Chain A
């Protein structure tokens, strides 16, 4: 990307596609950020960019993932949060402004894609949307081959999500990076079949499941392409099943890996950052890196080949930016002091040499007070 285009984007209040910026320039900006960060406060974008380039910013960037929980600020219901981009954007903006943070990840709920494939959903007033498993789209193993791709023009929830990306990218401007989101094909399929059946079918009927993943990916590619041109800087893909409590490594690499890789290639082609979100236990960092080549991995538990956060940092810290991993139980039940203590421990181990963003392991629990999210932001500000 020519320098003039970068300047033009910045003057227009937009973040240029980061991966289209020449690497020497990115490195120079990050080096400057790292030096300047020792004396003065960086902007959120400078801070995240510096961390992405594996250099130490003024402090560790933080994203408290106050997504559904931000409804509490604007007073909208869960169904409104799931279904109305304008109201969702108000909630995300309020979360960003009220709690703080350096990065906004638009993790809405996991029902967006499946709903547009015809999966009946339940939208409770006081909890996150979920599939009506009494009416699964895929009732038996023959159902996998009956799935048809859905065009974005016929996909109200995905269209609404793309609109959310547009609103948030414009509204956030140069205050922070914004990331879109997509559930991987196996995740979408699990909403249409039920996880237990899907797990067994992956072992017994892998070809049928692969066929379904292929069809779903066709739709996801269009969905992701639409997100890529909204002005967001990154797309996060959720590949939950690449973990010990998902599929075996071999099965994941056979079934979902290639499709997840295809989606990530499209994100890269658009010059955006690829993020992976996986809150499974014993996740397969190496397999996900092999297939998706992400810049960032958001995780809730240690990968299967690391026994400690120190080992994680040593093994993967130079390959990817780590995003995590404050435990959900601590956020739900801990005091702000306990949360801050945990954040400090994580910053000390993972924050060294950049390449780390402090965050919860998964979305901030939507029905709890925001106090512990604020504690996370305070911890990032305090424990440099």
Chain B
């Protein structure tokens, strides 16, 4: 019989090694041994953070990281079946994320969404090619704390600027985070955004910083 520490290590390994089979087995053992779910969540998050660090130091690449995010998401879904979360309990900050209208490159956005979800945020993914007005409406409707906007192309930058401007005008209490290839920190600031996510590697720290500044 594995100790609880071993089971938690298995959860971490499952995410790191991108192996859903390890996750399944760990989950069965965790259920049987009555392992506290918050410890499981921490182990999963630690696994994803390790995968993130491997990505940062170039010892892994995007496909491997994507598969780690998938295993992490599966783990989160498993946790939900045991301990359903109340969407309105106010514990997790809610984040609206999407690729701005005019662009369909959603790989970066999907990775960031996965990482944010893994960090415990309540992420609402609007998908790609999202008109500026939809970001604002959804942020209002869901009482989001942060709107995260992405684009890989230079052509929709005006739409991104519009999302930031409308958000600042209509929802001054909501923070805006932007990211994507045609941007850098200075440009993000010139748009009026509260933060700039260079990649999935720095997005948890930047999100925390921005939300703490609200």
Instruction: Let me know if B61 and A245 touch, CB within 8 A.
Output: yes
Question: Which residues on the B side are within 8 Å of A367 (C-beta)?
Answer: 154-155
Instruction: Let me know if B182 and A304 touch, CB within 8 A.
Output: no
A199 in the interface, Cβ–Cβ < 8 Å? yes
Cα distance A367–B184 when bound, in Å? 19
Question: Which residues on the A side are within 8 Å of B120 (C-beta)?
Answer: none
From 226 to 274 in chain A, residues with beta carbon under 8 angstroms from any chain B beta carbon are 244-248, 251
Cα distance A127–B104 when bound, in Å? 11
Which of A139-147, A175-183, A211-219, A328-336 lies at the interface with chain B?
Answer: A328-336
A128 in the interface, Cβ–Cβ < 8 Å? yes
Q: How many residues of A contact B (CB 8 A)?
A: 31
21 contacts between A and B (CB under 8 A): A122-B104, A124-B102, A126-B155, A128-B155, A133-B104, A200-B70, A202-B63, A203-B64, A203-B67, A244-B58, A245-B61, A245-B62, A246-B61, A251-B61, A328-B182, A329-B183, A333-B186, A333-B190, A365-B155, A365-B182, A366-B154
Cα distance A131–B104 when bound, in Å? 8
From 110 to 151 in chain A, residues with beta carbon under 8 angstroms from any chain B beta carbon are 122, 124, 126-128, 130-131, 133
Knowing A124-B102, A329-B182, say if A200 contacts B155 (CB, 8 Å): no
Instruction: Let me know if B154 and A196 touch, CB within 8 A.
Output: no
B18, B58, B62 interface centre (most CB from chain A within 10 Å) = B62
Interface residues on B, range: 20 to 34
From 340 to 372 in chain A, residues with beta carbon under 8 angstroms from any chain B beta carbon are 365-368
Q: How far is the CB of A266 from chain B (nearest CB, A)?
A: 28
Instruction: Let me know if A329 and B184 touch, CB within 8 A.
Output: yes
Instruction: Let me know if A200 and B182 touch, CB within 8 A.
Output: no
A282 in the interface, Cβ–Cβ < 8 Å? yes
The residue on B at minimum CB distance from A364 is B154
Q: Which residues of B approach A to under 8 Å, CB–CB?
A: 18, 58, 60-64, 66-67, 70, 102, 104-107, 110, 128, 153-157, 181-184, 186-187, 190
Contact of A244 among B61, B66, B156 (CB under 8 A): B61
The 5 closest A-B pairs by CB, nearest first: A365-B154, A199-B63, A127-B155, A248-B61, A195-B107
Q: Which residues of A approach B to under 8 Å, CB–CB?
A: 122, 124, 126-128, 130-131, 133, 195-196, 199-200, 202-204, 244-248, 251, 282, 304, 328-329, 332-333, 365-368
Given A282-B58, A333-B190, 15 more contacts at CB 8 Å? A127-B153, A127-B155, A128-B153, A133-B128, A195-B107, A196-B107, A200-B63, A203-B64, A204-B67, A248-B64, A251-B61, A251-B63, A332-B157, A365-B154, A367-B154
Question: Which residues on the B side are within 8 Å of A251 (C-beta)?
Answer: 61, 63
Contact of A304 among B18, B58, B154 (CB under 8 A): B58
Question: Which residues on the B side are within 8 Å of A124 (C-beta)?
Answer: 102
B64, B156, B182 interface centre (most CB from chain A within 10 Å) = B182
A200, A246, A329 interface centre (most CB from chain B within 10 Å) = A329
Knowing A126-B155, A130-B104, A196-B106, say if A332 contacts B182 (CB, 8 Å): yes
Cα distance A238–B153 when bound, in Å? 17
Cα distance A332–B66 when bound, in Å? 30
A195, A202, A365 interface centre (most CB from chain B within 10 Å) = A195
Instruction: Let me know if B187 and A329 touch, CB within 8 A.
Output: yes
Q: How far is the CB of B59 from chain A (nearest CB, A)?
A: 9
Instruction: Let me know if A127 and B106 touch, CB within 8 A.
Output: no
Contact of B155 among A131, A282, A366 (CB under 8 A): A366
Cα distance A1–B104 when bound, in Å? 47
Cα distance A126–B187 when bound, in Å? 22
Question: Which residues on the B side are within 8 Å of A282 (C-beta)?
Answer: 58
